[in-house]
Amino acid sequence: MARVFNWQLGRAMDYWYPENRPKRQFGAVFDINKCIACQTCTLSCKTTWTSGRGQEFMFWNNVETKPYGYYPLAWDVTLLEALGAQTWDGATYTGRTVFEAAPPGERVLGWMPDGMDYASPNIGEDEITGQVDKGMALTLPQQVWMFYLARICNHCTYPACLSSCPRASIYKRPEDGIVVLDQSRCRGYQECVRACPYKKVYFNPATGTSEKCIACFPKIEEGIQPQCFVNCIGKIRLQGWVNPPARAREDNPIDYLVHVRKLALPLYPQFGLEPNVYYVPPVNVPDAFLVQMFGPDAPAAVKTYRNARHDRTLAGLFALFGSTERTIPFFRISGDEAIALDDDRREIVRVPIYEPLFIRPAEDPARRIIRLNVT
Ligand code: SF4
Ligand code: SF4
């Protein structure tokens, strides 16, 4: 075991290999509050990469309803229970990671789902917590709640899939930090399936090898965002590059949301993998649930998000989500517009920070008709 620094835990931790960060790290932000669970992302991935034999139960991208939805079944609660107490002292994690909690002789604390755990990708969909009683009114904070959680491989800085593979078939690309699996080396031992706490490696029984999300690297190499990003109906996703905090840049959109404003947070940081997909946490969800899922910064992030529309930089940055199929490495705000810039600081696209709002009068006297304003 090596000692490596995990900034999401605020401390060093044990990992199978020494720290070796890529030249650039693939990063993404998902704004959970805007996801409508339309599953367009899921289908765009399915039709691109996993439409073949043996891939029937593979969802490199999936969207589940929390708190009762999972894919595969109980993927997170099973591990949360096995991990034991997950305590924080301020910004420092004082519990154990999946590497530190590994049983003797194993590299990771993992578990293996059954075949049937993959049988119901939409289990728990749209199920809310609590009981809706007669006469109940909408109050804040909401007594009943649910939210949609879109998930892909996190292309972790310290991947459990990679560290657990006895064949060294999984590697992190030095040029972009994308985690890929060499199927010519894979012998189908499925240690990666067992080890990945997010359950984002899938075994293909037709080929006898494991497969996983590749972040659409052929598109990334062309400067284009992955399929599930550019097809997202809710425009919840932004792909770019994330730096460690010491190298964070204010003009990098991912760094700005993750490090500068601490608005986008990792999923289950306590697992210890330093995942590189970040989430703007959902509003109207109890703090305790958010802290368990996104770490101790979650309540403050919700507060920042609630004020985001009054903050020109944040409002402008959110307006750039889904505005172009190109990767946005840099951005700036100019007047009433947010501008996406490429690596050479050339303009990719510009969008208004606040879109004009037109309210039509219900009655159109010229045509003598009543119209409904539905948008
Ligand atoms: Fe590997 Fe899972 Fe991390 Fe993806 S999310 S890099 S499959 S450990
Ligand atoms: Fe959510 Fe976007 Fe996927 Fe639709 S396409 S389910 S809005 S992440």
The Cα–Cα gap between 160 and 77 comes to 18
pLDDT of residue 191: 98
* pLDDT above 70 for 373: no
Whether residue 67 has a cis bond before it, omega within 30° of 0: yes
Question: 263: which 2 tokens?
Answer: 């608005």
Ligand (nearest to CA of 150): 2
Instruction: Give the pocket of ligand 1 (CB within 6 Å).
Output: 153-156, 159-161, 179, 196, 198, 200-201, 212, 273
- Are 200 and 154 spatial neighbours (Cβ–Cβ below 8 Å)? yes
Mutate to test the pocket of ligand 1, among 151, 155, 171, 211 (most ligand atoms within 8 A of CB): 155
Query: In the predicted model, what is the mean pLDDT of residues 39-51?
Result: 98
Q: Which uninterrupted H or E stretch holds 288? A: helix 287-294
Task: Tell me which residue has its CA closest to atom 2 in ligand 2.
Answer: 232
Bridge partners (DSSP) listed for residue 179: 172
Q: How far is the CA of 163 from the centre of ligand 1 (A)?
A: 10
Closest atom of ligand 2 to CA, residue 44: 5
Mutate to test the pocket of ligand 1, among 99, 151, 156 (most ligand atoms within 8 A of CB): 156
Ligand (nearest to CA of 156): 1
Confidence of residue 48 (pLDDT cuts 50, 70, 90): very high
pLDDT of residue 127: 93
Over the stretch 230-257, which tens digit does the pLDDT of each residue have?
A: 999 999 999 999 999 999 999 999 999 9
* pLDDT above 80 for 375: no
* Percentage of the chain modeled with pLDDT above 70: 99
Mutate to test the pocket of ligand 2, among 146, 232, 237 (most ligand atoms within 8 A of CB): 232
pLDDT of residue 371: 80
Q: Which domains does the chain have, with CATH numbers?
A: 2-131+139-299 (3.30.70.20), 309-375 (no CATH)
pLDDT of residue 131: 82
* pLDDT above 90 for 357: no
Query: In the predicted model, what is the mean pLDDT of residues 219-223?
Result: 98
* pLDDT above 90 for 359: no
Query: Torsion over CA of 185, 191, 196 and 202, rounded to 10 degrees?
Result: 60
pLDDT of residue 374: 63
Confidence of residue 266 (pLDDT cuts 50, 70, 90): very high
- What does pLDDT average to over the chain? 96
The Cα–Cα gap between 104 and 309 comes to 50
* pLDDT above 80 for 198: yes
CA distances from 366 to 33, 310, 358, 360 (A): 40, 38, 18, 13
pLDDT of residue 130: 80
* pLDDT above 80 for 90: yes
- Are 340 and 254 spatial neighbours (Cβ–Cβ below 8 Å)? no
Q: How far is the CA of 229 from the centre of ligand 2 (A)?
A: 9
* Percentage of the chain modeled with pLDDT above 90: 90
Over the stretch 117-159, which tens digit does the pLDDT of each residue have?
A: 999 999 999 999 988 888 888 777 778 999 999 999 999 999 9
Task: Tell me which residue has its CA closest to atom 3 in ligand 2.
Answer: 41
Ligand (nearest to CA of 197): 1
Q: Which uninterrupted H or E stretch holds 314? A: helix 312-320
pTM: 0.95
pLDDT of residue 135: 85
Cβ contacts of 265 within 8 Å, gap of 6 or more: 258, 278, 279, 280, 281, 294, 295, 297, 298, 301
pLDDT of residue 1: 87
The Cα–Cα gap between 146 and 162 comes to 33
Q: Which uninterrupted H or E stretch holds 363? A: strand 363-364
Amino acid at the residue 206: A
Residue 71 falls in which region: left (phi positive, over 0), alpha (psi -120 to 50) or beta:
beta
* pLDDT above 70 for 302: yes
Counts of helices then strands in the chain (DSSP H, E) = 10, 19
